[in-house]
Amino acid sequence: MEKYVGTDDQVNNIMSLMNIDAKDKRIIVIIDGKGGIGKTTLAKLIYNQVSCDFDGCSFLTDIRETTLVLGGPQLLQAKLISDVLKRELEDVPFVNRGIEFLRDLFCNMRILIVLDDVENAFHVQQLVGNCFNCFASGSRILVTTRNSVILEESPQIRTYHVNLLDKDQARQLFRQHASIATSSSRGNIRFLPHAFEAIGALPLYIEVMSAVFNRKTEEERTHILRRGWTIDKHWYFREFLEEGYRTLNDGEKQIFLDIACFTTGIDFRIARYLWYDTSFLPSRKILTSLAKIGENNQIWMHSLLRRLGREIVRAESLTNPERRSRLFNHEIALDTIKKKKMKNLRVLDLTGCADLLVTPKFSGCQNLAILILERCSQLVKIDRSISDLKCLVSLNLKFCTELSMLPIEVGRLTALQELLINGTSVQEIPISIGHLKQLETLSASSCFTLSLLPRTICHLTNISLLSLDGTRIATLPDSVGELVRLKHLSLRDCRRIRKLPSSIGSIGRSLVELDVSGTGISKFPDSLKNLQNLKVLRMDSCFFREFPPNIGELTSLEEIHASWCRSLEGGIPSKIGKLHNLRILRLRHSTISSIPTDIHQLSNLRTLDILHCDMIRELPRLPSSITVLYVDDELKSSHLP
């Protein structure tokens, strides 16, 4: 795990302002400071530390940049609602409607929201309006900004100004990222304090400085440090960032420009497909100074570095976009592709292109690897020339709500590893999908008209994620057991599904997450016990009459979610005491009648939610590891110390 310098005290100070234990208060904490000072890092550290203590949470990044895009505020609102509800949501039609959603959906939930890189009060107003007071008491909002006075003074609002690193911390951060030879050289030791003073001891610049120095001679380092005495601070900042780019080798420069031009938050696992056929596949170490890879594999680059990268790409040809190596403005991209052949184009991102009815012909883009058509709300047809894209690894059609058919030519995309059709009106997946031997992800959540999986799905032997949430599918084919690399299977809100095929046990040790919440399933097949590596079992709002009797055999389980199971009868099996890895047990609003005494053996259990479980009359001794307990006041006062 990366060690952050100078953050411990600041995190503690912000946590003190948040006062998480004050469940009767709603608090907004503004984290303000210069660009590059580490505001986002602090917010992420806090978010990761406390998010599990809330009913729902969301971290919205790069708000200033995203709101500049047409429909950007609605995209952010949709992500906020999706994060909190833990399910995908199509576009919010307009901002005021999104605020109404927030008010109606979250009125009884303790929410944690992080709004990162907010420029002004209008951004906050666009995203959450005045509905913060409608959230449950105990809710918190963190705002990172360069402007400390974005919100009017209020007892709810507290402000924390992020401090610059002191000289010792700056030197420690430099040494953390620099090589031993670089950090201990005489010239560096002599001039570093002056350099830190010149650049303001900002973590971003120090990290870039260390990366630059690792590849410079002693003489070059000394020259750079001396310049900090002679030129304007602003230009010294800029020079350091540009020098960081120039220091990269040719391959690394291409990676830097790719990341700068990607949609914010693109998955590293998808992005790296662009670099597989090169000799410069990046290691995480190379990326550390210029970009970050989060726990969810999303690539994040600071807005100052992103702006630099995009300026470099624009400068390749100011007047002829087709001569540029990358196109990140969808209007320019679409116009250019229609008129010119772009054999070197690797990524085409047309997210939110509302005027697109039919995709352009792809014959001139044979090397395209990533095609993003997400939220093209008027798109009705994909041109058959898509079959020419033999290098395509990711096809994103999420929330193209008017798209009702996938062309059979999709089956010719033999390199495809990710197919996302969430929120489309697709009625059936073509049988030709069975030819996609490299496919790892098939996501069709919220395809409310999709009613059948083709039997050829059994040929997708490389698939690891299959998401069918909210579809009209009534049965899974028996051949699902042949998907021996499947890790995540989600059937949430597939209300027509009444049972799982017994062949599901044949998936064996690969399956780690199973979600049948909101289905018509009332009993698991006996073969469930064969899923020995299952870590997360979600069965909320189902018709189960009893807990799976062989639940104790799933010894890898870390989370069980069985809230709103109003048909559950009897108690939890005593064998649950064998689940020594269990961290979360949620039974809220279920009719379970008792909790076994063996529950005290669950030494890793952190969260127990039995709120409104009216049939439970008493509590056994609970494990001391529990940090979050939801229980009715009457039961709490009678049976807890």
Token pair listed for 532 = 């020995």
Whats the size of the chain, residue-wise?
641
pLDDT for 333 = 82
Residue partners of 399: CB distance under 8 A and separation at least 6: 90, 91, 374, 375, 377, 422, 423, 424, 446
Pairing state of beta strands 299-300 and 370-372? Answer: unpaired
Higher-confidence residue of 633 and 607: namely 607
- Tell me the per-residue pLDDT of 104-158, one tens digit each, with 9 for 90 and over: 777 788 899 999 988 888 778 777 877 777 888 899 999 999 887 677 777 788 9
pLDDT for 130 = 72
Token pair listed for 22 = 């004050």
- Tell me the per-residue pLDDT of 151-184, one tens digit each, with 9 for 90 and over: 777 778 899 998 877 778 877 877 777 654 455 5
Q: Helix 95-105 vs helix 121-128: angle between axes, to the nearest 10 degrees?
A: 60
d(CA 130, CA 7): 32
Query: Which residues face 312 on adjacent strands?
Result: none
pLDDT for 280 = 47
- Tell me the per-residue pLDDT of 382-430, one tens digit each, with 9 for 90 and over: 999 999 999 999 999 998 999 999 999 999 999 999 999 999 999 999 9
pLDDT for 172 = 80
Query: Which residues face 157 on adjacent strands?
Result: 28
Q: How far is CA 562 from CA 495, 530, 559, 628, in A?
A: 16, 20, 10, 17
Q: Which of the residue ranges 314-318, 425-429, 579-583 would you say has the lowest mean pLDDT?
A: 314-318
- Could you give the count of Cα atoms lying within 13 Å of 487 in the half-sphere of its Cβ? 6
pLDDT at 70 over 90: no
d(CA 105, CA 241): 44
Domain 488-641 of CATH type 2.60.40.420: no
Residue partners of 59: CB distance under 8 A and separation at least 6: 43, 44, 47, 83, 114, 116
Token pair listed for 528 = 């469930």
pLDDT for 267 = 72
Residue 53 phi, psi dihedral angles, 5° rounding? -90, 0
- Tell me the per-residue pLDDT of 199-208, one tens digit each, with 9 for 90 and over: 556 777 777 7
The closest of 339, 341, 253, 334 to 290, measured between CA atoms, is: 253
Higher-confidence residue of 608 and 338: namely 608
- Give the DSSP per-residue string, 412-423: G-TT--EEE-TT
Q: How confident is the model at residue 98 (pLDDT cuts 50, 70, 90)?
A: low
Please give the distance of CA 21 from its chain centroid, rounded to a whole number. 27
Q: How far is CA 231 from CA 37, 199, 225, 239, 334, in A?
A: 21, 11, 11, 10, 42
pLDDT for 234 = 58
The 3-class SS string of 526-567 reads HHHHHCCCCCEEECCCCCCCCCCCCHHHCCCCCEEECCCCCC
Mean pLDDT of the chain: 84
CATH architecture of structural domain 8-161: 3-Layer(aba) Sandwich (3.40)
pLDDT at 445 over 70: yes
Residues 192 and 226: beta-carbon distance below 8 Å? no
Higher-confidence residue of 39 and 104: namely 39
Residue partners of 188: CB distance under 8 A and separation at least 6: 182, 213, 221, 225
**SS3 at position 242:** helix
> Using DSSP, how many helices (H) and how many strands (E) does the chain show?
18, 20
Q: How far is CA 112 from CA 54, 59, 156, 410, 585, in A?
A: 6, 8, 14, 40, 21
Per-residue pLDDT averaged across 248-267, rounded? Answer: 80
pLDDT for 635 = 74
Q: What are 420-423's contacts with CB under 8 Å, separation 24+?
A: 420/374, 420/394, 420/395, 420/396, 421/397, 421/447, 422/88, 422/398, 422/446, 422/447, 422/467, 423/88, 423/90, 423/398, 423/399, 423/447
Higher-confidence residue of 578 and 224: namely 578
- Tell me the per-residue pLDDT of 479-527, one tens digit each, with 9 for 90 and over: 899 999 999 999 999 999 999 999 999 998 899 999 999 999 999 999 9
Per-residue pLDDT averaged across 463-480, rounded? Answer: 94
Q: Which of the residue ranges 86-95, 210-219, 316-325, 592-601 would you say has the lowest mean pLDDT?
A: 86-95
Residue partners of 246: CB distance under 8 A and separation at least 6: none
Domain residue ranges of the chain, discontinuous segments joined by + = 8-161, 167-247, 250-313, 488-641
- Give the DSSP per-residue string, 441-455: EEE-TT-TT-----G
pLDDT at 189 over 60: no
Q: How confident is the model at residue 284 (pLDDT cuts 50, 70, 90)?
A: very low
- Tell me the per-residue pLDDT of 211-235, one tens digit each, with 9 for 90 and over: 777 777 777 777 766 665 554 555 5
- Tell me the per-residue pLDDT of 549-563, one tens digit each, with 9 for 90 and over: 889 999 999 999 999
Q: Is 423 left (phi over 0), alpha (psi -120 to 50) or beta?
A: left
Q: How confident is the model at residue 603 (pLDDT cuts 50, 70, 90)?
A: very high
Q: How confident is the model at residue 457 (pLDDT cuts 50, 70, 90)?
A: very high
User: Of all residues in the chain, what percent carry a pLDDT higher than 70?
Assistant: 87
Residues 75 and 352: beta-carbon distance below 8 Å? yes
466 exposed, middle or buried (CB, 10 Å; 0-12, 13-18, 19+)? buried
Q: Which of the residue ranges 22-31, 129-138, 449-458, 532-541 would you say has the lowest mean pLDDT?
A: 129-138
Alpha helical stretches, state H, 34-162: 39-50, 63-66, 72-85, 95-105, 121-128
User: Of all residues in the chain, what percent carry a pLDDT higher than 90?
Assistant: 40
The closest of 223, 220, 225 to 174, measured between CA atoms, is: 225
Identify residue 13 by its one-letter amino acid code: N
* Residue labelled with tokens 């009534």: 474
pLDDT at 443 over 90: yes
**SS3 at position 61:** coil
pLDDT for 180 = 47
Higher-confidence residue of 312 and 262: namely 312
Task: Look up the pTM and report it.
Answer: 0.78
